[in-house]
Chain A
Amino acid sequence: MQVDAQLIEACKKRERYAQKVLYETFAPPMRAICLRYARTFSDAEDLLHEGFIKVFANIRQYSGKGSFEGWMKRIFINLSITYFHKKQKQNIFQNIDDVSEISLRHNRTDDEDTEADSGMKSVILNSEFSVEEIQQAMSELPDGYRMVFNLYVFEEHSHKEIGEMLKIKENTSKSQLARARKSMQQKLYDLAIRKMKYSNHDGNNYLKLVI
């Protein structure tokens, strides 16, 4: 998204009308980013406002080199990470024993698990999900899973970088990502099954795939 240099200059002078124009231009994409990192809409809105206050306060540091949107995005992501650290009251990176219950619940072996994943994948890929449904599924992830997932998938950081940002080990980051994917898969699969049930008008209630 291109930004008028005059607009940035006006924002550097702290002119309110310019700040409003900047907000109205960049609030929609930045809000979407905040929604990915926050658990609720109100948290995302708080994050958004804090982010813009920081943008307005530090805009003089923007030298003009590189994308302005990228510069803003960096601020919001760093703020999200700070927000995450603040919200963390205990180590949310669960012991692998706790997380494995997803597999254990179904009493599956690893091979059976792989086969189950394939089945779920087929169901998920054959279903259509709205933006809100995907967003909702992400919001339901535990905070740690969601942070690692966002930084890896959207910001394309390596596990080493994620470890440094979140102050965790590289291996922990890898395992958190795996768990996040697993959790997302399960949620999307459950959603797909529910949608199939409700869309069947002839009263038959059957599943395309049996797990």
Chain B
Amino acid sequence: MADNLKYIDDLVRNVLEHRMVNSPDQSWETLEKKIPVPGFWQFNLRRFNIYYLSSITAAILILLFILTYIPGNDVTLKYDKNDSGKIALSNTEPGVPANSNINAIAPKDTIGNEKNTVPHDNIAQPEYVNEQQNINEKKNKSLKSNIRKLFKQTNPVSESVQPVSYVLKDFTVQANEQKIEEEKNVQNQLEYFVREKFDIPQLTTLGLNIGNTDFRIAIPDTSRKFNLLFENLELSQQNSRYYAELFFSPLYTYNQLTAKNGSYEELMTERKNLEKPLVSYSVGGNFYYMLTNSVFLQTGLAYSRLGEKFSKGGVMSIDSATVSLADSNTVWFYNIDSFYVGIYDSIPYTYATGTYHTEMNYDSTFKNSVSSINRFSYLEIPIILGYQFNRPRFSYSVKAGIITGFLLNASGKSLSTGDAQTIEDINSNMLFKKPVFSYTFGTGISYQITERFYLTGEAYYRKSFTSIFKEYPLIQKYETYGLRLGIRYGF
């Protein structure tokens, strides 16, 4: 029986073995939605992804924190001016933590004892400025009286130490050069005590009184002048931990194109010839968080509008064409390269059953050209780490980070991938990736105009990590040069 039925095997095999069944409509689109999204959002040891990025970012932040964090303990040093603004804090009593920034200086009853004095080169140098001296004098007078009051209130003056006079001398804004030299050579120990924010709201703690422990601050090389107002200004800058900024940024973006394989070289070349970048713009707001006095984290939201000009011109000569008509009384049209060209109706035609058709023979030439401004709108979120160098009224910064851009809209015209000649509308839904990731770095400057307001300027560079397209035979990356102008507010 089995052998009798073997013919069924042959019959079915012959019919079905090499069968092909075409896909129904939208079959690929249905499948595409089911394909897991690869790449950046998935953990993969062999591919750069968000987990790598997060680990690198976390490592950088931890490293910066370790390098810049100064344990405050009970002593707060807020001068942080490129190694030249620190005031050495001395303590002769036990109990002060070893990691406080201190230099050993002789106890108050042994002032002048050379054994216990500290060479000047071990002591940090304060910054000074030459500006706003008149304003400083008034503030200094107030400061001097407050210090005098404070000193008298909190510490009995020892006969062997006359700190007040030394204090008063060294808070002089425009110190006499000769006096400075004398003081420097004498190696006198200077003492003064300042209580944090005692009637001086902008002044940060320079030293602290712990119980009955005397803290001494050696004012180092006084050949430099220092400006209390400058200190106040700088401290007021450093007191702000949060900043908000509004900005406008003109930018210039051009497309970096690469063909995925040789068959698309023509498309790449044609697009490079036909597309010209335009100056575009970006507007938005940034938010800054000061991790330390110099290191900051920046994020924000921006609307960027990129533009390019697409123009294709050409001359086409047509010798003959066959057209099917809708109505013999209409002007007849036919399609050349997405352009409609009108043909007038003084052309002989013949009737066929059911439809009209005709043949046209002519040697007209048509000039076909299209010019379009292609526009791409993105919503961008930056995550940037920066380091700033603080100066009186100015600060300079360098920064680097990642920007995530979400495509909002794309419009315009481009070349067909089929023949690299036909012009097609840009279809934002099918073509572009959402989101697009870019890296950026830049340098900036800010100028303090009032206590809390700053003018900012920044030059930056930015480039996409990967192609902006999700399904396209060319790899296209944005490369942007920009200038950002803004106004910042410190909270």
Residues of A that sit less than 8 Å from B by CB: 6, 10, 14-17, 19-20, 23-24, 27-29, 31-32, 35-36, 45, 49, 52-53, 56-57, 110, 113-114, 117-118, 121, 124-125, 129, 131, 134-135, 138, 149, 152-154, 177-178, 181-182, 184-185, 188
Contact = CB atoms under 8 A, between A and B. Distances in A.
B81 to A, nearest CB: 51
Given A20-B32, A134-B15, A188-B8, 8 more contacts: A16-B471, A32-B21, A117-B1, A134-B12, A135-B19, A154-B13, A181-B5, A181-B9
25 contacts: A6-B261, A10-B261, A17-B260, A20-B28, A20-B32, A24-B28, A28-B20, A32-B19, A52-B31, A53-B35, A53-B36, A113-B1, A131-B15, A131-B19, A134-B12, A134-B15, A135-B16, A135-B19, A138-B16, A154-B13, A178-B1, A178-B2, A178-B5, A181-B5, A185-B8
B264 to A, nearest CB: 10
Q: Which of B5, B15, B17 has the most chain A CB atoms inside 10 A of its CB?
A: B5
A14 B12 contact: no
A184 B8 contact: yes
A27 B19 CA distance: 11
A182 B470 CA distance: 52
Nearest to A52: B31
A160 B8 CA distance: 21
Given A16-B471, A28-B21, A181-B5, A36 B16 contact: yes
B27 interface: yes
Interface of B: 1-2, 4-9, 11-13, 15-24, 27-28, 30-32, 34-36, 38-39, 260-261, 470-473
A129 B20 contact: no
B34 A117 contact: no
Contacts of A178: 1-2, 5
A17 B1 contact: no
Contacts of B27: 27, 45
A52 B260 CA distance: 23
B21 A20 contact: no
Nearest to A182: B5
A53 B470 contact: no
Contacts, number: 103
A177 B17 CA distance: 18
A179 to B, nearest CB: 10
B470 A16 contact: yes
Nearest to A180: B8
B11 A124 contact: yes
Nearest to A30: B21
Nearest to B9: A153
A118 B4 contact: yes
B131 to A, nearest CB: 59
Contact of A49 (B1, B12, B30, B472): B30
Nearest to A113: B1
A166 to B, nearest CB: 18
B8 A53 contact: no
Contacts of B23: 24, 27-28, 31
Contacts of B7: 121, 124-125
A17 B471 contact: yes
A6 B30 CA distance: 25
A1 to B, nearest CB: 10
A176 to B, nearest CB: 12
A172 B22 CA distance: 35
Q: Which of A57, A134, A149 has the most chain B CB atoms inside 10 A of its CB?
A: A134
A61 to B, nearest CB: 14
A208 B413 CA distance: 68
Question: 3 shortest A-B CB distances, which residue pairs?
Answer: A28-B20, A181-B5, A32-B19
Q: Which of B6, B15, B16, B24 has the most chain A CB atoms inside 10 A of its CB?
A: B16
Contacts of B21: 28, 31-32, 35
B13 A153 contact: yes
A124 B14 CA distance: 14
